[in-house]
Every structure is written in structure tokens, then in C-alpha cells.
Amino acid sequence: MQLVKALLSQLLACVCVLGLRAAFPSISVWQFVVIQAGLAALFSRGFRQPYWWLPIHFLFLPAILLGLTWQIPAWLYLLVLLLLTLLFWGTVKGDVPLFLSSSAVSGALIEIVSREGAQSVIDIGAGLATVVVPLAKARPDVAIAALERAPLPWLLAAWRCRNLANVRVGRSSFWDQDLRQFDVVFAFLSPPVMAKIGEKIRREMRVGCLFVSSSFPLPNSEAESVLELNDRRKTKLYYYRID
């Protein structure tokens, strides 16, 4: 659905710009490209696409025009498309995109895992194992699972964790993972999935265990506590006790 909205945004912006070009033939190609990029971003917001689509819409046509100007070989487009697909995987369908947590987040997670006396932890959507690696190094006695669905981040996460005996990196969806066995579940996902995640953790996690959500709260749930970190994004960690 997101892909259809993105294509529609680009197409509508192109149609508007072609109309403008007929009315103002003296405006340069680059000026039209900039207007098209701005309009595409506006249409994208009109279609309620998530904010992270904005830079894609801003850059799409200018990047193509630059590529044509510099006569970039066709295989390079294919390579970039392949890399982006392997990196972001289901993101075009509206899945959670790849953003990385700061070291302050992993520091806070190490602290809470120790305070909880947790023996098993999972990062559902581990990205490049940015949180998992420092946690595994600080707490080699804790069994850690890292799930990542996108092929390239999974490969990099598996490589980074290759010497960490207490980490298992899985290339599967967290929707297929039973969370019953984990004392602490960590997630840094996105707002559209939080309601469904809330249902999943309440259904599967054991009473007394802790769900930690970075940046995005669970709708209709009261967090036990909220920690604001002193990193660049002023990340908030929401702690939910399962009752």
C-alpha cells in the first residue's frame, strides 16, 4: 500500500509539473525538478505516509536527473536498488524501517537487565545488533536472542555477533516468535505496529516480566516508568510490567 501511495505521489507531482511547464516554459528543468520533489513530498503527507518517506520523495527525481547528467551506468541503479531492498526489505509495505539506537539506549538496557536479574533477553527487530552487542559483552551470563528479518542487517548482525557465545541471531519475523521464554523484551519499532505488539506481549509474556519499548509507547497502556535519555534524539524508553 505504501508503495502505491509513493508511486501516486510521484506521478501526481509529475502531472502538476508538466502542467506548470506548459504554462511557464521559461523555467529551467532544475527548477521544475525541485518543485516536483516538493509537491511529491506534499502529496505523500496528504496520503498519510510516514515522515521517513519525505527524504525519499525529495531526492527521487533530483537523483534520477543527476544520474542522467553524469551518465551513470544502468547497472549501478540496479545495484543501489538491490542494496536498498536487502537493507530495508519489507519497509515499502509499511513495515518498520531501519533506525539505529544510540549507545545511551544500550547503556540503559544493560542497567535494566542487571536490575531485573534477567536471564534471557530478546531484541525483536535487532537491526545491526547495535543494542545486542554491547549488552552481550557487558552480560555474557545472559542469553540473548536477536531477530532481524531484512537480509543485509541480519547478515551484518550475525557477523558482529559471531564470537559472542551468548547471542543467537535469527532471520525470522518477531510475529512468529513466542515471547514466553524471555524475561526482558526490547523493541525499537514504529507507531503503526505498537497496538498489535501490545496484544502480543500481553498474550505471550510471563507475569512480572518487562517489555521495554524505545521511542514509541503502547497505545492504551500505562507504562510502569518512562526514562528520557540524554542522547541526540532525547530517546524515551517506555517500561511495561506484565501483570
Ligand X SMILES: C[S@@+](CC[C@H](N)C(=O)[O-])C[C@H]1O[C@@H](n2cnc3c(N)ncnc32)[C@H](O)[C@@H]1O
Contact residues for ligand X (CB under 6 A)?
89, 95-96, 98-101, 123, 125-127, 130-131, 147-150, 153, 173-175, 188-189
* CA–CA gap between residue 183 and residue 15 (Å, rounded): 54
Residue partners of 143: CB distance under 8 A and separation at least 6: 119, 120, 121, 166, 168
Which CB sits closer to ligand X, 150 or 210? 150
Which CB sits closer to ligand X, 43 or 89? 89
Task: For the CB of residue 206, give the shortest distance to ligand X in the complex, in Å.
Answer: 21
Radius of gyration of the chain (CA): 21
The answer to whether the beta carbons of residues 200 and 111 sit under 8 Å apart is no
Which CB sits closer to ligand X, 12 or 185? 185
* CA–CA gap between residue 22 and residue 47 (Å, rounded): 27
Task: For the CB of residue 118, give the shortest distance to ligand X in the complex, in Å.
Answer: 17
Cell, residue 185 = 523484551
What is the helix (H) or strand (E) element at residue 15, kind and residue range? Answer: helix 2-23
Task: For the CB of residue 47, give the shortest distance to ligand X in the complex, in Å.
Answer: 21
Which CB sits closer to ligand X, 64 or 83? 83
Task: For the CB of residue 78, give the shortest distance to ligand X in the complex, in Å.
Answer: 22
Task: For the CB of residue 225, give the shortest distance to ligand X in the complex, in Å.
Answer: 19
Which CB sits closer to ligand X, 61 or 108? 108
At 125 the three-state DSSP class reads: coil
